[in-house]
Structure 1
Amino acid sequence: MPATGSVPQDADRHLALLGARRRDREACRATLALPAELVPPVSAHRRLRGPYTVAGTVLRALVPGALARHPELVAAHEVEILTVAPELRDLVPATRETLTSLAVPEERTRFYSRWRTLRIAHGIMEFLRDLLLLDGADVRALVVDDVDHADPTDLEFLAVLLRRMDPALLTVVVQGTDRLLVPPDPDPLIEPDTPPGEDLCAQLHRCRHVVAAPQPPAEEDRPDGEVERARAIRHVATDGTDDDPRVLAAYERLPEAERRLLHDRRADELEALGEPSSALGAIPYHREHGSEPLTAGAKALAYAMDAVMLLGFYDATVDFCVRGRALADWDEHPDLWWLFTSKMPTSLSALARAKEAEAVCDEARAQTVKPMIHIQMAYATAMLYTRHREPSRRDHQRARAWINEAIALASLLPDPRLRAFNSVFHDNGLALIEAHRGRPHAALALVTEGIAELDRTLGSDEHHLHRSVLRYNRAQVLAGLGRAQEALEEYRAVIAVDPHYPEYHFDLGNLLRKLGREQEALEAYETALRLGPPFPEVYYNRGDVRNEAGDTDGALADFGYVLELDPGFVDAYVNRAGLLLELDDTTGAERDALAGLARDPGNPHLLAVLGRVHAARGECAAARDSYSRALAAAPDLVAALCGRAAAAHELGDTDTAIGDLRHAVELAPDDPGVRYNHAFVLRSAGRWDAALAELDVAAGLLPDDPDILAARALCEAQSAAR
């Protein structure tokens, strides 16, 4: 860490400017030679606008101009822009709505993955990068303060910016206290092996320049009454984000009734502005601290809770649930308590906090005998045990017991339409459990009957989303059963009614690929990529298809982009390293193998790649060791068996070579190359008849191969000469 107030000499790096108070950080920043600001400094405090306070503020400032100059760029990032900055809906046309995004809350039966926010972060980063490149502007700076108080969506976004944005294009200045450099303690309540996602602290530590701001001087403060009141008002006017302790102290000394009145007035001001993002931050903050916390406060919190849950911002959902529950307990306000409790199991489950989710379910069950509450909690618990817990902790039989309870209770509901929908909804949950239990035919019967029941019972304009979910699930089960044509028909039927949902096109592409219809698979993948923010799995699969089609450059580009999005995507290292070996780039292949092994030390495919690298360099002993490590993890990996056999043969260990290739032949009996290699080492050992037998089979598999024919003729001659 350089000395206080120093200007970094390496101006091509992002900055972390740390200090105890905002004013100290601002004073320090004024001494630094930073590029021109892209937008005015942004406060990340989630109390202002909730999730994406930073990203939304930046987009609201930039998108109107970008739309005029580069409308195609704005259109390409429509989903990210409108998700993060809803105020822009009157400016940016929404052309990619899905049944999920359009469903009214009471018909919302599908919720986004927790990883959608990471895809959005990448999309916004690429929008900013491409906008700056298209404008051809000089390097700019983005200053973000109060990062200690940012919502997890903004922490994720800033981590992506620091990792991927070229600081020579946009220098990111992250401001906050030195707590930003303290790694968070592992959360024991998170399910084991949950991917960590982007880590801002790690990015700040790994490669960013840190400038220390001066510590604040001690001050003696004896304000009069007028100054004191002005400070209290300032606390409310800044939506509780001012970090001056004198401001907070003055606010706390104000009589409670006056404080509540100030909050009421500020909430009224913000509501009059009509900015949707304020309803996810400052407005609920002021309403819950205003004069009517149980009415206006609860209403504002409930609105925010519903909005962020529908968008997949689950940390914020839990926060609003906790704050709402703090206003009302079960005994005094049971309906309010349930309102803020009902969203917690789904949100906690999405965040891999399964133990906490189950505790909420147990708490709700203990509070009431209301059937609908028990139905919802039984379903939530079933999903915990079949889907959300870490694989080794799942218990499908226990999940089935809970879903059967939900189904039994739903069958007793007096309203026939409500009874029908709930029965179908929970039967769909049972279908998932049956699929996990290895009973796909039972799962297929359940979803098929569910489709028919909704058609019989509900109007054609009701529950479009859940009908599409059922059709999609039916396609998934059919594909798993090998009934490919029926699965294709179901996928196409779902896409016809919900054409902008990217995952449908992704799964359609996967099925087309299995059927050998590569060009159609590529078209489906490209549609999925066009419809939403960056999707690493789609690029990975497209890279595979391109590789199989001989498009090496395209495959390398796709695998490289996957690793830019997700440096922990180990399979992309495997595939790219293999391609680099085919191009004789042993240095690049070794770099990828080592990078992948740093994340997955026992990965047999990467160890096999490392073996090939050593073999290509003539390092036979090192090659044999790498192949042996690969086979220790995967004894039936044919590539490693063949590689170790070649290395062993070079080292004079013929017995090992013969044994490895014999095992490889058993695993891949129809591979003429494996049989040819087996014959080669058998010949080296003088076992001409055995070699000839292998070559006979190889020639049958590949009749016109000159190497096989020549080796076969040699063996015949040797056998005849004996």
Structure 2
Amino acid sequence: MNLRQDFTQPVAAALRDHGIVVVAGARGLGAGATVRAALATLPGAAPWELDGDGHTHGYLAGFEPFVLRLLDDAAANRPALAARHEQSLKRVWPWRPCAAFKMPRDLTGTAPREERTRFYHYEYQNKLLVGVAEFVGDALAASPFPVSLVIDNAERMSPTSRHLLDILRRLPGLSGKLRFVLLDRSATGLTGDLPTVVLAPLGRAEFELAADVGHLPPARRDAVYLQSGGNPAICKTLATCLGKDLGTTAALPVATVVDLYLGTLDGERRAALAADFVAAAGRGDLIAERNAAAMPDALMDDLHHARHMAALERHLRGAGPLVLVHALAIRDPMRRLQALVEPCDVLMGIGLYDTWFEFFAALFSARPQRRRQAGNDAVDGLFINAAFVLYSMGYTAAALSFLNEFLEASPDSRFVPTALYAQSMTYGRYQIPVDLPAAEDCAVRNLRLIDEKFPDHPRHTYIKVFAENAYAYIKARQGKFDEALALCEQGIADIVDEYGADQFQLHRSILIYNTSQVYELVNDTARAERRLRDAIACDPFYAEYYNDLGNLLSRLDGREEEALAAYAKAIALSPPYYEAHLNRGMLRAQRGDQNGARADFERALAIKPTEWRAMRELGNLRLAADDAAGALAAYDLALRHEERDADLHANAALAASALGDSARAIGHGQAAVAIHPRHAAAHNNLAAELLALGRHDEALRHIRLAVDCDPDPQYRENEAAIEVARVMSAASPPP
């Protein structure tokens, strides 16, 4: 319908040249037909036509049906392919069963809701989506032609879908395998440097043909064209309101015409229109939109709530996307929040925080539940969980504002211990700079409150140990390691004594892990390892414990092979895990495995292209291979992302020196010691560079600083040599 022949060639050309195009134009201007015609001129199968509206079609709207079709095909015909990407796919769609998945899940998302005190890091989503994109690449590897995805309502894509689109476009394995057509119905929703074809309103002749108004007098056709803005869809709405001949009334604004038309309908017809509008997920023409906006709140809320519950039930049994549109359309603020509790829990459990807070941030700030005193229902728990996630993402002011307000308004809430725990951790761990006295005050108040107000709570021991865990962390930050260890060890024992070894496995694993971290801080590596292995026994499929085990073992002489095995296990249990690759790469480099190290650092960058530490380590490998120019290029890339790393500047100074660029070498060396004044190697290298320039006094000052920082015999030899050079220079007659 409404094929715009003049636009097919620009659309096809953009796809040939760039693999992606935005086609911007309102409904009724022929975007769909024009795109189909353009794709018909290119090689490939029939396109996938998808809807990108994240509120209507889920957090991966625009991609979910396509990826799940690939997964179903892999599970049926190539189960090894599905299994290879299991750790990403099963986490992105946790409710969807797949016979090819064999590995059990960790406890982060499977423990009972009240025990879920461990949240995925905010970078976790990137790992998941890299895994999904790599699965798509592997699934399409044998495809002889590109697959075209036409994503309607692309301006409404969720942040998660936009992130996946970016990854699909940048992964080299997908180059030439996918084409993307993004239909932007707002004409303002998509920005950036994407090639864009804007569909202008139809010309008068095109409009009259598409709108079927040739029977009207010329003057009336002109009026209707202007009134419709050259859009046949709007003309169709006017025809519904005014009749096929579009009446002889004055040309009022279209919305006014619609409202007057709605006034002619009886209540039963308008209620049916509203029900159809809700059933279509809030989609419809202007008549349906204006009618729904005018209907009573209670009626619309009941319709949306019923649809919301049905959609949520489908999602939780793996039969449909996570639909938000109905919950968000509920007009009563508290009823809306109650409907959103479960969907928010789903998004939080997966780690899709940007998609969650895109719609929830305004609700979190408005906090309609603040007027209530009890603070004991699921909505309050949702807001406290949101505070946990916000402070871990660095939004400590927003988290503390809510927590302070909640504790003042609802002092008797059953969530007070959790709120005080979150408050103490915000002050003591995540706020910059930390406020340890405030953190300790919150922790002590929490422990006192638990004993005073919750002595008969069925989970009294659990919530008390949970609070003591925060207190132990603060004690460790204060350097009071013995007190921290005593709290941790006693908490572990109390949980087992009260509930047995099979209960609260997630929280026990966290307690044990934290205890291991304190032992490591006091250099008791034997106890640190033992406790870390105990944590793994509680949660044997949690990848981060194996990564930390690898880090611990890599620092112990003779345990390098075990460390490598631990890193391999972490990588196998996780979506693409750049930290484990980075850590394993550094261990491999130390052992002289340059190829293995390089592969790990390059893999880390494939997962996270901004990971400056991997750039730095690649630079170090190149420097060790006498490729000073390649090393400096890698260091320059790293410095674009991190300017405050002393080692990075010190190594860049070495590379610049090897290339004969003294000024740059001195500049990087000075930057290194400005960041870390006791960086012995940087001082030593500065001394050598200054000596070569005949700046003996400055060279002597830096070499003495190097010796003061590190009494390395080589530094002392360098000091003596600079002293000799200084004396000889002073004794030489001026030229």
Class of the TM-score when normalised by the shorter of the 2 chains: 0.7 to 0.9
- Could you tell me which of 560, 568, 579 is aligned with 1:526? 568
SS at match of 1:42: strand
| TM-score, normalization by structure 1 | 0.81
Aligned in 2, Cα 1:383/1:20: closer, same or farther, shift over 3 Å? farther
Partner amino acid, structure 2, of 1:401: D
What is aligned with 1:63? 71
What is aligned with 2:230? 217
Whole-Å Cα distance in 1 between the matches of residues 412 and 302 of structure 2? Answer: 38
Deviation at 1:434, TM superposition (A): 1.3
What is aligned with 1:706? none
Tell me if structure 2 keeps the 8 A contact 1:267–1:286.
yes
Tell me if structure 2 keeps the 8 A contact 1:364–1:373.
no
Q: Tell me whether 1:576 sits opposite 2:615 in the alignment.
A: no
What is aligned with 1:137? 144
Whole-Å Cα distance in 2 between the matches of residues 119 and 579 of structure 1? Answer: 25
Whole-Å Cα distance in 2 between the matches of residues 635 and 83 of structure 1? Answer: 45
Partner amino acid, structure 2, of 1:112: Y
Tell me if structure 1 keeps the 8 A contact 2:516–2:532.
yes
Give runs of aligned pairs for residues 305-344 of structure 1, distance below 5 A.
305-315=344-354, 319=359, 330-331=371-372, 335-336=376-377, 338=380, 340-344=382-386
What is aligned with 2:438? 398
Deviation at 1:461, TM superposition (A): 3.0
Whole-Å Cα distance in 2 between the matches of residues 508 and 561 of structure 1? Answer: 21
Deviation at 1:299, TM superposition (A): 6.0
Aligned in 2, Cα 1:478/1:332: closer, same or farther, shift over 3 Å? closer
Partner amino acid, structure 1, of 2:504: H
Q: Tell me whether 1:380 sits opposite 2:366 in the alignment.
A: no
Tell me if structure 2 keeps the 8 A contact 1:321–1:343.
no
Could you list the per-position Cα deviations for residues 267-320 of structure 1 after superposition, in whole angstroms to 9, with x for gaps in the alignment?
Answer: 5764685664678743x643676799978x776433223333333334555546
Aligned in 2, Cα 1:637/1:245: closer, same or farther, shift over 3 Å? farther
Q: Tell me whether 1:613 sits opposite 2:620 in the alignment.
A: no
What is aligned with 1:146? 153
Deviation at 1:549, TM superposition (A): 0.8
SS at match of 1:41: strand
What is aligned with 1:160? 167
Aligned in 2, Cα 1:511/1:230: closer, same or farther, shift over 3 Å? same
What is aligned with 2:221? none
SS at match of 1:424: helix
Deviation at 1:67, TM superposition (A): 2.2
Deviation at 1:121, TM superposition (A): 1.2
Q: Tell me whether 1:490 sits opposite 2:497 in the alignment.
A: no
What is aligned with 2:690? 648
Tell me if structure 2 keeps the 8 A contact 1:39–1:61.
no
Aligned in 2, Cα 1:68/1:351: closer, same or farther, shift over 3 Å? same
Whole-Å Cα distance in 2 between the matches of residues 455 and 291 of structure 1? Answer: 47
Whole-Å Cα distance in 2 between the matches of residues 637 and 342 of structure 1? Answer: 43
Give runs of aligned pairs for residues 661-700 of structure 1, distance below 5 A.
661-672=703-714, 674-682=715-723, 684=725
Tell me if structure 2 keeps the 8 A contact 1:279–1:300.
no
| TM-score, normalization by structure 2 | 0.80
Aligned in 2, Cα 1:103/1:86: closer, same or farther, shift over 3 Å? closer
Partner amino acid, structure 2, of 1:589: A
Could you list the per-position Cα deviations for residues 6-38 of structure 1 after superposition, in whole angstroms to 9, with x for gaps in the alignment?
Answer: 243573524240525356543553354466469
Partner amino acid, structure 2, of 1:77: H
Aligned in 2, Cα 1:659/1:211: closer, same or farther, shift over 3 Å? same
Deviation at 1:502, TM superposition (A): 0.5
Tell me if structure 1 keeps the 8 A contact 2:119–2:389.
no
Deviation at 1:396, TM superposition (A): 1.2
Could you list the per-position Cα deviations for residues 55-79 of structure 1 after superposition, in whole angstroms to 9, with x for gaps in the alignment?
Answer: 5333222101122343222112212
Whole-Å Cα distance in 1 between the matches of residues 43 and 672 of structure 2? Answer: 50
What is aligned with 1:709? none
- Could you tell me which of 85, 100, 105 is aligned with 1:77? 85
Number of equivalences = 656
Deviation at 1:470, TM superposition (A): 1.1
Aligned in 2, Cα 1:169/1:12: closer, same or farther, shift over 3 Å? farther
Aligned in 2, Cα 1:396/1:52: closer, same or farther, shift over 3 Å? farther
What is aligned with 1:693? none
Deviation at 1:656, TM superposition (A): 3.6
Give runs of aligned pairs for residues 484-563 of structure 1, distance below 5 A.
484-516=525-557, 517-563=559-605
Tell me if structure 1 keeps the 8 A contact 2:70–2:139.
no
What runs of 5+ residues in structure 1 fail to find an aligned partner? 183-203, 689-722
Aligned in 2, Cα 1:581/1:488: closer, same or farther, shift over 3 Å? same
Partner amino acid, structure 2, of 1:542: R
Could you list the per-position Cα deviations for residues 182-211 of structure 1 after superposition, in whole angstroms to 9, with x for gaps in the alignment?
Answer: 5xxxxxxxxxxxxxxxxxxxxx43xx4333
Q: Tell me whether 1:29 sits opposite 2:29 in the alignment.
A: no
Whole-Å Cα distance in 2 between the matches of residues 258 and 417 of structure 1? Answer: 41
Partner amino acid, structure 1, of 2:420: A
Partner amino acid, structure 2, of 1:17: V
What runs of 5+ residues in structure 2 fail to find an aligned partner? 1-5, 202-228, 242-261, 730-735
SS at match of 2:196: strand
Give runs of aligned pairs for residues 67-146 of structure 1, distance below 5 A.
67-86=75-94, 88-133=96-141, 135-146=142-153
Aligned in 2, Cα 1:340/1:665: closer, same or farther, shift over 3 Å? closer
Whole-Å Cα distance in 2 between the matches of residues 415 and 634 of structure 1? Answer: 53
Deviation at 1:579, TM superposition (A): 1.3
Identity of aligned residues (%): 27
Aligned in 2, Cα 1:248/1:332: closer, same or farther, shift over 3 Å? farther
Aligned in 2, Cα 1:39/1:128: closer, same or farther, shift over 3 Å? farther
RMSD across aligned positions (CA) = 3.6
Give runs of aligned pairs for residues 587-666 of structure 1, distance below 5 A.
587-601=629-643, 603-666=645-708
Give runs of aligned pairs for residues 228-267 of structure 1, distance below 5 A.
235-241=277-283, 245-253=286-294, 259=300, 263=304, 266-267=307-308
